């Protein structure tokens, strides 16, 4: 039952004390649902509606991430600032 207990812990953690990443993902999912229903009422084809809803979800994710963290890309924490070396460059 390890799989289900992990899911239960994740859901309880999300409800009681969500992380910034969980909040941003929740905003993205809600934005996708709203966009999908709005485009369904306008009677767009399924593929167009779904693609547009995913795009709106990504925009919602980026906006929510920026509002929660103050930057578009979350910090890497202890990441070393080593120089990038392109292995394919001769």
Condensed to tens digits (0 to 9), the pLDDT of residues 47-89 reads: 999 999 999 999 999 999 889 888 766 556 666 666 767 777 7
- For 26-39, the pLDDT digits (tens) are 999 999 999 999 98
Identify which of 16, 3, 23 has the alpha carbon closest to the alpha carbon of residue 69: 23
Q: What is the pLDDT of residue 11?
A: 84
Q: What is the 3-state secondary structure (H, E, C) of the chain?
A: CHHHHHHHHHHHHHHHCCCHHHHHHHHHHHHHHHHHHHHHHHCCCHHHHHHHHHHHHHHHHHHHHHHHHCCCCCCCCCCCCCCCCCCCCC
pTM of the model: 0.69
Burial (CB count within 10 angstroms: exposed 0-12, middle 13-18, buried 19+), residue 64: buried
């Amino acid at each position: 039952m390890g799989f289900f207990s992990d899911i239960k812990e994740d859901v309880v953690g999300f409800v009681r004390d969500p992380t910034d990443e969980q909040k941003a993902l929740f905003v993205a999912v809600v934005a996708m649902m709203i966009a999908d229903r709005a485009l369904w009422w306008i009677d767009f084809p399924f593929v167009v509606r779904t693609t547009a809803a995913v795009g709106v979800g990504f925009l919602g994710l980026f906006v929510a991430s920026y509002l929660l963290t103050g930057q578009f890309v979350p910090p890497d924490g202890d990441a070393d600032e080593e120089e990038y070396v392109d292995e394919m460059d001769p």
